[in-house]
């Protein structure tokens, strides 16, 4: 990702000179910087003093096209008479990092913010703005002064999905105007494939690196090997990506508190990484959220060691140079088609959030037609392993999913806490989020049947069926969302997501809301917990919080009777002083 004082394809030859980042290697380490996740974030330059990371991703530009930057305690000064951050210290450190052979890119988006494009025209114009403010162009106000970035990263987790292909195309036009450097485009989708926000962009724009977030979802590192889906992304890289040399990174939480789920220790991560490296040529390395977490936990050192053990580099070109075709319209050697004969059919999840397991899509291994049989050919009953089925049918039987393979049902259990549901003829494993957990269904039938040995689940309000962010009663514009986490027996984890809409909130805050009937709350992973009947209040620990925050994510745990349900978002009250 990025830009150096000499072309990146040339290895440094002078003694003491750092080797430049090489996008074609499978031993690269990228880490995000700027959000102070571990609450002990150091200067950018201090992390660049050694050879641990290869790529630093500055987080975030969480507002665009009306630019908003947020780097927590790393930069809190603005241009005179403006709200735009002016970060001379980061600017100096960018140059230091690049002198050490590291790439520095700016991440656009994030979990909280106000961003997105209304049209391709607006997106293209904003690419011009980006070039002028952060690359080789000129602008009256440049947040990093004369420092020149090595590229951008798209971490799109909200807003409209339109315009990003046009944005990349126009930005690459600017990239090509500077043959002295290599610039890059990276993307950071969540692991459910295809990504809800970036799926179409990944298929239609030239991307150099993809930092897949293998955490906070059913397909995370903690689900290895059952649901861990690097294979889906490798298949995309080889069959759908315009850039057939695109590199896929294993995105990992840098520490136990860096994500709601998905953290693995160095030994476990090394086992997963080595298995992926031995099998998939699209692997580019490892990404962590974030550098403060990874350095504090010691995981960063473990990652560097595993990356350096047996890494290799290909001879394929990457990035953008003046002689490289960079857009779909000008490329004559890359096809954007996805031959049906070489890939399985994967359905699009109904939704995907950053803090909860999204729908697990079961991929059929049958080589037969994907057309579903008519309702008259299949009885409305539970699929049983070994029983007769037809075609490429799929089905559900409570907590098990079923696939028809050569005329016989093959059944397998969903991961603990999830249940099987049919979606458009496809069997999926998902958190119940209040839905019945005892349904039987087979694709091609017109109705669902319940198992007679199980009693009917109680009904809950529609608002609790799926997570949906709502504006909270608050003294600043804020969204609150509740997302189902681990549900085992009668114990639950609910993820609470607080996101500022425009202005940051202080480190002194509290949120209160009502629990569904039959639920108790025992603990919170952030702040302190107060309970008054079915109303709970979480108050921040001011000593552990940043002075300014755009988001706060944490977990509450407890028990429930009957069926698990999400708290009613309409009851949420948020106050920041």
CB 512 within 8 A of CB 535: yes
Candidate ranges 82-91, 194-203, 220-229; pick with highest mean pLDDT: 82-91
For the stretch 415-443, pLDDT in tens is: 555 677 775 566 666 655 556 777 788 87
> Which pair of tokens denotes residue 275?
């298995």
Query: DSSP letter at 516?
Result: P
Higher pLDDT, 179 or 417: 179
More confident residue, 532 or 552: 532
pLDDT recorded at residue 431 = 57
**N-term to C-term CA, the chain:** 40
pLDDT score for 551:
73
Question: Between the CA of residue 575 and those of 505, 512, 543, 553, what are the distances in Å?
Answer: 9, 9, 17, 15
pLDDT tier, 311 (very low <50, low <70, confident <90, very high otherwise): confident
Alpha helices in 462-539 (DSSP H): none
CB-side neighbour CA atoms (13 Å) of 79: 13
Gyration radius (Cα) of the chain, Å = 24
Mean pLDDT (whole number) for 4-8: 30
Determine the distance from the C-alpha atom of residue 235 to the mean position of all C-alpha atoms in its chain, rounded to a whole number: 18
Q: How far is CA 76 from the centre of its chain?
A: 26
The catalytic residue positions are 157
- Confidence band for 472, pLDDT divided at 50, 70 and 90: low
Range of weakest confidence among 144-158, 387-401, 454-468 = 454-468
Which is more confident, 358 or 475?
Answer: 475
Neighbours of 536 (CB within 10 A): 21
Higher model confidence: residue 551 or residue 238? Answer: 238
What is the average pLDDT across 330-349?
Answer: 30
Q: What is the pLDDT of residues 189-214, one digit of tens each?
A: 999 888 889 999 999 999 999 999 99
Confidence of residue 336 (pLDDT cuts 50, 70, 90): very low
Nearest to 288 by CA among 25, 567, 37, 576: 37
The two tokens of residue 537 are 């209040």
Give the separation between CA 282 and CA 128, rounded to whole angstroms. Answer: 31
Specify the range with the lowest mean pLDDT, choosing from 30-34, 236-240, 539-543.
539-543
What's the pLDDT score for residue 415?
55
User: Does position 330 have pLDDT exceeding 50, yes or no?
Assistant: no
Predicted confidence (pLDDT) at residue 369 exceeds the cutoff of 50: no
**What CA–CA distance (Å, rounded) separates 558 from 143?**
45
Burial class (CB in 10 A: 0-12, 13-18, 19+), 386: exposed
Tell me what the mean pLDDT of segment 531-535 comes to.
92
Longest Cα separation, the chain: 77
The three-state secondary structure class of 429 is: strand
pLDDT band at 483 (very low <50, low <70, confident <90, very high): confident
Cα gap 345→271, rounded to integer Å: 29
Greater confidence (550 vs 451) lies with 550
Q: What is the pLDDT of residues 111-170, one digit of tens each?
A: 877 899 999 999 999 999 999 999 999 999 999 999 999 999 999 988 888 999 999 999
Q: What is the pLDDT of residue 408?
A: 83
Interacting residues of 127 by C-beta distance below 8 A, sequence separation 6+: 166, 167, 168, 169, 170, 171, 173, 174
**Residues in the chain, total:** 577
Instruction: Examine the pLDDT at 469 and tell me if it is beyond 80.
Output: no
- On the question of pLDDT at 24 being above 80, the answer is yes
% the chain with pLDDT above 90: 52
User: What is the C-alpha to C-alpha distance for residues 434 and 399, in angstroms, rounded to an integer?
Assistant: 15
Burial (Cβ within 10 Å: 0-12, 13-18, ≥19) of residue 236: buried
Task: Report, as an integer, the average pLDDT of 43-70.
Answer: 96
**What is the Cα–Cα distance from 3 to 206, expressed in whole angstroms?**
18
Q: Taking residues 530-543, what's their average pLDDT?
A: 92
For 564, counting Cβ atoms within 10 Å of its Cβ (0-12 exposed, 13-18 middle, 19+ buried), the class is: buried
pLDDT at residue 345, rounded to an integer? 30
Q: Tell me the two tokens of residue 177.
A: 């105007």
Q: In the prediction, which pLDDT does 123 show?
A: 97
pLDDT at 558: 93
Cis ω for the linkage preceding 225 (within 30 of 0): yes
Query: 251-271: per-residue pLDDT in tens?
Result: 999 999 999 889 999 999 999
pLDDT at 344: 32
CA distance 459 to 515: 16
CA distance 540 to 576: 10
Least confident of 77-81, 199-203, 278-282, 319-323: 319-323
Residue 262 CA to residue 217 CA, distance in Å, equals 8
What is the pLDDT, as a whole number, of residue 447? 35
Mean pLDDT of 372-396: 65
Q: Return the minimum-mean-pLDDT range out of 262-266, 462-466, 560-564.
A: 462-466
Mean model confidence pLDDT for the chain: 79
């Amino acid at each position: 990702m990025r830009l150096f004082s000499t072309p990146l394809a040339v290895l440094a030859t002078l003694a003491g000179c750092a080797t430049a980042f090489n996008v074609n290697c499978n031993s690269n380490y990228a880490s995000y910087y700027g959000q102070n996740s571990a609450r002990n974030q150091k200067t950018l330059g201090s992390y660049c003093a050694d050879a641990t990371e290869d790529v630093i991703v500055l987080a975030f530009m969480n507002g665009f096209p009306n630019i908003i930057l947020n780097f927590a305690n790393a930069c809190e000064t603005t241009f005179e008479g403006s709200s735009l951050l002016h970060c001379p210290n980061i600017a100096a450190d960018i140059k230091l990092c690049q002198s050490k052979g590291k790439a520095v890119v700016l991440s656009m988006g994030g979990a909280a913010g106000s961003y997105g494009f209304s049209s391709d025209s607006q997106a293209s114009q904003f690419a011009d703005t980006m070039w002028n403010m952060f690359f080789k162009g000129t602008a009256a106000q440049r947040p990093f002064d004369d420092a020149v970035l090595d590229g951008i990263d798209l971490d799109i987790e909200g807003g409209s999905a339109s315009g990003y292909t046009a944005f990349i195309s126009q930005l690459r036009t600017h990239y090509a105007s500077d043959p002295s450097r290599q610039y890059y485009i990276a993307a950071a989708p969540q692991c459910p494939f295809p990504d809800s926000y970036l799926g179409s962009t990944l298929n239609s724009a030239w991307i150099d690196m993809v930092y897949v977030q293998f955490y906070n979802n059913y397909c995370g590192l903690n689900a290895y090997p059952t649901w861990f889906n690097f294979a889906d992304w490798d298949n995309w890289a080889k069959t759908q990506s315009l850039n057939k040399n695109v590199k896929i990174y294993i995105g990992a939480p840098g520490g136990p508190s860096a994500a709601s789920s998905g953290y693995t220790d160095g030994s476990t991560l090394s086992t997963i990484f080595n298995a992926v490296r031995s099998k998939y040529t699209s692997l580019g390395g490892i990404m962590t959220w974030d550098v403060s977490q990874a350095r504090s936990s010691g995981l960063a050192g473990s990652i560097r060691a595993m990356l350096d053990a047996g890494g290799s580099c290909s001879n394929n070109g990457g990035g953008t140079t003046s002689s490289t075709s960079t857009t779909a319209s000008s490329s004559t050697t890359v096809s954007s088609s996805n031959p049906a004969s070489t890939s399985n059919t994967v359905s699009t999840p109904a939704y995907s959030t950053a803090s909860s397991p999204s729908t697990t899509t079961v991929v059929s291994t049958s080589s037969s037609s994907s057309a579903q049989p008519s309702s008259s050919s299949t009885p409305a009953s539970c699929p049983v392993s070994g029983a007769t089925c037809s075609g490429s049918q799929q089905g559900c039987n409570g907590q098990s999913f079923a696939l028809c393979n050569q005329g016989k049902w093959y059944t397998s259990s969903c991961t603990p806490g999830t249940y099987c549901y049919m979606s458009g003829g496809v069997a999926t494993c998902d958190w119940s989020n209040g839905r019945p957990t005892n349904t039987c269904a087979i694709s091609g039938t017109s109705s669902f049947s319940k198992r007679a040995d199980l009693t009917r689940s109680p009904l809950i309000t529609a608002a609790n069926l799926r997570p949906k962010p709502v504006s909270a009663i608050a003294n600043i514009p804020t969204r609150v969302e509740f997302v189902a986490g681990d549900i085992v027996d009668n114990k639950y984890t609910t993820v609470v997501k607080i996101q500022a809409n425009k202005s940051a909130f202080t480190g002194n805050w509290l949120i209160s809301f009502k629990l569904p009937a039959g639920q108790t709350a025992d603990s919170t992973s952030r702040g302190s917990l107060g309970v008054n009947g079915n109303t709970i209040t979480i108050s921040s620990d001011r000593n552990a919080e940043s002075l300014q925050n755009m988001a706060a994510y944490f977990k509450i745990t407890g028990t429930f009777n009957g069926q698990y349900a999400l708290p009613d978002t309409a009851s949420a009250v948020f106050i920041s002083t």
